[in-house]
């Protein structure tokens, strides 16, 4: 794959992960709207999803820097 394809793929991964997180954290139960009840495994899954999205976004930035654009970043994945 060329750089634009890899970048698009990574952006898609980040968006998919964040969309999944949004669905995961949606509460479709009979509790007040300001109450969110999540079991520990769902919290861990949410954290893993955030980590996946962050890694994809770091890869996008690293690709951009490697191609001569974008901000310089610290430790990339």
Cα 20 from chain centre: 9
Instruction: Give the pLDDT of residue 75.
Output: 52
**Rounded Cα–Cα distance for residues 47 and 76 (Å):** 19
Residues 23, 29, 31, 35, Cα dihedral to 10°:
-20
pLDDT in tens, 46-64: 888 888 888 888 888 888 8
DSSP symbol at 32: -
Closest residue by Cα to residue 50 from 2, 75, 14: 14
Tell me the average pLDDT across 2-30.
80
């Amino acid at each position: 794959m060329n750089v634009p394809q890899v970048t698009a793929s990574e952006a898609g991964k980040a968006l998919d992960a964040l969309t999944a997180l949004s669905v995961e954290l949606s509460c479709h139960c009979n509790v007040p709207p300001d109450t969110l009840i999540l079991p520990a495994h769902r919290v861990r899954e949410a954290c893993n999803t955030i980590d996946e999205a962050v890694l994809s976004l770091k890869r996008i930035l690293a690709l951009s820097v490697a191609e001569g654009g974008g901000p310089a970043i610290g430790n990339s994945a």
